[in-house]
Structure 1
Amino acid sequence: MAEAIWPRGGWGRAFQYVQHRLRRLPGTPEQIARGVFAGTFTIFTPFFGLHFVVAALLAKVMRGSILAALLSTFLGNPLTYVPIAIISIQTGHFLLGTSPRGEVDESIFAKFGGAAGDLWHNIIAMFTPAQAHWGDLRIFYNDVFFPWMVGGVVPGLICALTCYYLSVSVIRAYQKRRASRLRAKMEKLSRQAEAERG
């Protein structure tokens, strides 16, 4: 549980690992960057538990690297999801012309809890004579899920486009440097082989 919130090497090391893996992926810088775009955009959606699926589908549609999309979803973590949720929900309410019940940052956890409680109660109600309750699920949909889905598009696009352009330049520079190192190594091996033959 603790490692889910704070990895053993810290989030900086986890970010460096993902960055290292992204640079070594096969494909053109543009393909990899389109995958990064898909994964980054996905973390601004409220489809928890489906982020890998959504990122992979989006990358496939965009003809980007699916592996890059999956790796990029790790930008979403327990430290970033709270600000992402607050920004997305407030943007969604602004775009929809609605307002949430209570302060977004204070009530979001209560609304998640209420929706989970209703969901659990309704599952049990299918097998017992108990009545299903939809009130907290309706509040969650109106105040959290739908505004998040609508409002996540704007910050998601901004963040995804930023990551796309940064990724293209970084990956292109890395691939060129790697190719030149491989060429130099091959030339050195070729010279050694010629010297041994001579």
Structure 2
Amino acid sequence: MFKRRKPRSYSQLATQLIYPRGGWRRASQYVMHRIRRLPDQPQRIARGFAAGIFVSFTPLFGFHFMVAALVAWLIRGNIFASLLATFVGNPLTFPFIAVVSLSLGRWMLGVEGKLQPNLIFEEFSRAARELWNNLLAPLTDAPVGWNDFGSFWDGYFLPYAVGGIIPGLVAAAIGHYLTLPLIRAYHKRRARKMADRIARVREQQAPAPSAPPDEASDEGPDKG
């Protein structure tokens, strides 16, 4: 009943992952619209939004949803808002986030080596394949090896994780203080509209005032 008449192809799915239908501006407006309409306290929604932004600066690709929900739960934020806020990490922003976080992390940890932005996600993909192959090695005849994964951990993952803390906290704080007044204003406007609607309904349902009694009937019959 709710399925598409013509299913999307894999190429369309990949294209919409990079550039959603309607553009990124419309997609971001939809996310903010959904966040404003969440049925929760503005403080909890803003905390959840900040949690999702912060997690977007971590190298836990593929686990951002779960980690954002956990962080939102720990700081008593709205979990659904944290899931929506992971939208901050998208194919357009991830290259910038990765370069800033990895460069800062290498500088903080004193890791030497030339940083090649075009190889960052390639290294993550290669490490993920090696990890998956090692996990499946007991079930197959494939050899187990962690040499490449060790260099990936020291040169990419750990610096990315350490370097993403500061810009992640800064972006989360900015997102929190920008969304909190917007959510409060939206909730106040919605409460005011609801109060006006209730007042109009009560006015429509209120009984009409009775007519005053005829003064002549109170004076009795005219005696001439």
Do they superpose with TM above 0.5?
yes
- Pick from 87, 90, 94 the counterpart of residue 77 of structure 1: 90
Q: Structure 1: which amino acid aligns with 2:161? A: M
> Which contiguous aligned blocks of 4+ residues in structure 1 show a shift greater than 4 angstroms?
none
Q: Distance in 1 between matches of 2:41 and 2:73?
A: 15
Aligned to 2:158: 146
Return the alpha-carbon distance in structure 1 between the equivalents of residues 104 and 158 of structure 2. 11
| More divergent stretch after superposition (103-112 vs 37-46) | 103-112
Find the counterpart in structure 2 of residue 93 from structure 1: 106
The two structures, once aligned, show a CA RMSD in angstroms of 1.7
Q: How big is each residue's C-alpha offset from its partner over 1:7-59, in whole Å with a ceiling of 9 and x where there is no partner?
A: 11211111111101100112221111110111111111111121111111111
Q: Please tell me the residue identity of whatever aligns with 2:46.
A: A
CA distance in 1, matches of 2:125, 2:43: 41
Distance 1:182 1:95, change over 3 A: same
Q: Which has the larger radius of gyration?
A: 2
Residue 203 of structure 2 is aligned to residue 191 of structure 1: yes
Question: How many percent of aligned residue pairs carry the same amino acid?
Answer: 46
Are 1:38 and 2:15 an aligned pair?
A: no
Which residue of structure 1 aligns with residue 23 of structure 2? 10
Q: 1:121: Cα distance to partner? A: 4.8
What's the offset of the Cα at 1:107? 2.5
Number of matched pairs: 194
Taking the aligned partners of 2:69 and 2:137, their CA distance within structure 1 comes to 35
Q: How far does residue 167 in structure 1 lie from its aligned partner after superposition?
A: 1.1
Q: Give the residue type in structure 2 aligned to 1:115.
A: A
SS at match of 1:147: helix
Question: What are structure 1's unaligned runs of at least 5 residues?
Answer: none
SS at match of 2:193: helix
Residue matched to 2:169: 157
Amino acid at match of 1:138: G
Asked whether the 8 Å contact 1:90–1:104 carries over to 2, the reply is no
What residue number does 1:172 align with? Answer: 184
Distance of aligned partners of 1:120 and 1:175 in 2 relative to their CA distance in 1, 3 Å threshold: closer
Measure the CA separation in 1 of the matches of 2:82 and 2:148.
33
How far apart, CA to CA, are the structure 2 residues paired with 1:80 and 1:184? 43
For 1:191, the aligned partner's letter is E
**Correspondences of 1:52-63 after superposition (within 5 Å):** 52-63=65-76
Structure 2 equivalent of residue 66 of structure 1: 79
Tell me the CA shift for residue 112 of structure 1. Answer: 2.5
For residue 77 of structure 1, report the CA deviation from its aligned partner. 1.0
**Could you tell me how far apart the structure 2 residues matched to 1:40 and 1:61 are?**
15
Structure with the higher fraction of residues in helix conformation: 1
1:131 aligns with 143
Q: Please tell me whether the aligned partners of residues 52 and 86 of structure 2 are also in contact (alpha carbons under 8 angstroms).
A: yes
TM-score (norm 1): 0.90
Instruction: Give the conservation status (yes or no) of the 8 Å contact 2:127–2:152.
Output: yes
Contact 2:103–2:115 (Cα < 8 Å) also in 1:
no
